[in-house]
Amino acid sequence: MRPFTYERATDTQTAVTSVSRAGAKFISGGTNLLDLMKLEIERPTHLVDISRLPLKGIDDLSDGGLRIGAQVANSDLAAEARVRSRYPVLSEALLAGASGQLRNMASVGGNLLQRTRCPYFYYETADGCNKRDPGSGCAAIGGFNRTHAILGASGACIATHPSDMAVAMTALDAQIELLGADHTTRRIAIGDFHRLPGDTPQIETVLRSGEMITAVILPPPPPGQQRYRKVRDRASYAFALVSVAAIVAVEQGTITTARVAFGGVAHKPWRSVEAEAALTGRPATMATFRAAAEAAMANAVGRGHNDFKIELAKRTLCRTLAQTAQAE
């Protein structure tokens, strides 16, 4: 690990000022950043510890939504009674991620900023990775790519985003609140927060230099039942091969509202408006679910080892929708 100086921020305004210097980075739970610093993939020269900032509230909003402070621990958010009763898909997604120890450390803001677990980014550093070393190529294309993206990838990068939490937040239409280095705030829809890789896979979000995530805003829950389903190589404590967050309302056998987001398939949490359009107004039957799955994966591209993920994503969506619609 490279040497760095450290300061503990006590308020948000000085934190964004402190992080504006060259080489500075925020640290919160540290579960991803320190791991990457040990591997010298991340090399900050100054750390601004924001884990003690007063951003740990989970507050009711007047519209029936919820404002989640960016420093809320993943475990606290998953265990929060209002989340469990009104946004169970979010609790389920959080609980499907990482381990008990990591969820106790990891913050909501940090979870959104997790970096990919592509082995060529993380471990096989002798091989090319445009994310780690822009311009060096993508060793996953033509290499070992069993876990890689099937949607929205580019010739420069086929990495996936590792978060479960963000997939549920995408289905819930969350907004991300940001505080800028100029001390102004702005809100970004979560669907616009993470970027597709394109030619610049090293730029993963629309965060500006010095900007800090201060909160995640959940609008009131949409009607219907919510469910998160994750498929992985182990029963617990593994990243998703494919995951699905589904919210479905059924009235008299007809789907009236549908929200679908996938995890493990793209460089960002993948909202499928195609699947939602194929579900809305249709009978809640397996034929409809299958049609939605085909629509969701119409543009999916396999890279060899990960070809199976296309069919796996379809089946996972069908199974999740069947369970969700049945519970309605």
Partner 1 sequence: MGTSITAETKAGGVHTAELALTINGRVQRLELDTRTSLLDALREHLHLTGTKKGCDHGQCGACTVLINGRRVNSCLTLAVMHQDDEIVTIEGLGSLDALHPMQAAFIARDGFQCGYCTPGQICSAVGMLAEVAAGWPSHATEDVASPRIALTDAEIRERMSGNICRCAAYPNIVDAIRDVAEGAPR
**Binding region for partner 1 (CB under 8 A):** 1, 3-10, 14, 18, 27, 29-31, 34-35, 38, 47-49, 51, 75, 78-79, 81, 84-85, 88, 91-92, 95-96, 98-102, 104-105, 235-237
Buried b (16+ CB within 10 A) or exposed e, 105-133: bbbbbbbbbbbbebbbbbebeebbbbbbe
Q: Where are the beta strands (DSSP E) in 117-179?
A: 175-179
Q: How far is the CB of 327 from partner 1 (least distance, A)?
A: 10
Q: How far is the CB of 78 from partner 1 (least distance, A)?
A: 7
By beta-carbon proximity to partner 1, the closer residue of 99 and 136 is 99
Around 296, how many Cα atoms within 13 Å sit in the side-chain half-sphere? 32
Q: How far is the CB of 168 from partner 1 (least distance, A)?
A: 12
Q: What is each CA distance from 1 to 33, 40, 248, in whole angstroms? A: 11, 6, 47
Q: How far is the CB of 254 from partner 1 (least distance, A)?
A: 26
Helix H or strand E segment including 257: strand 254-263
By beta-carbon proximity to partner 1, the closer residue of 22 and 81 is 81
Q: How far is the CB of 198 from partner 1 (least distance, A)?
A: 30
Residue type, 72: V
Cβ atoms of 242 and 263 within 8 Å: the answer is: yes
Q: How far is the CB of 234 from partner 1 (least distance, A)?
A: 8
By beta-carbon proximity to partner 1, the closer residue of 111 and 272 is 111
Q: CB burial class (10 A; 0-12, 13-18, 19+) of residue 219?
A: middle
Q: How far is the CB of 246 from partner 1 (least distance, A)?
A: 15
By beta-carbon proximity to partner 1, the closer residue of 10 and 326 is 10
By beta-carbon proximity to partner 1, the closer residue of 175 and 243 is 243
Rounded Cα distance, 86 and 248, in Å: 14
- Nearest alpha-carbon partner for 95 in 176, 165, 191: 165
By beta-carbon proximity to partner 1, the closer residue of 105 and 277 is 105
Q: How far is the CB of 10 from partner 1 (least distance, A)?
A: 7
Strand partners, 47: 6, 25
By beta-carbon proximity to partner 1, the closer residue of 83 and 150 is 83
Q: Is the alpha carbon torsion for 53, 59, 61, 67 positive or negative?
A: positive
Q: Indicate the SS3 state at residue 107.
A: strand
At residue 282's C-alpha, the angle toward residues 280 and 283, to 5°, is 130
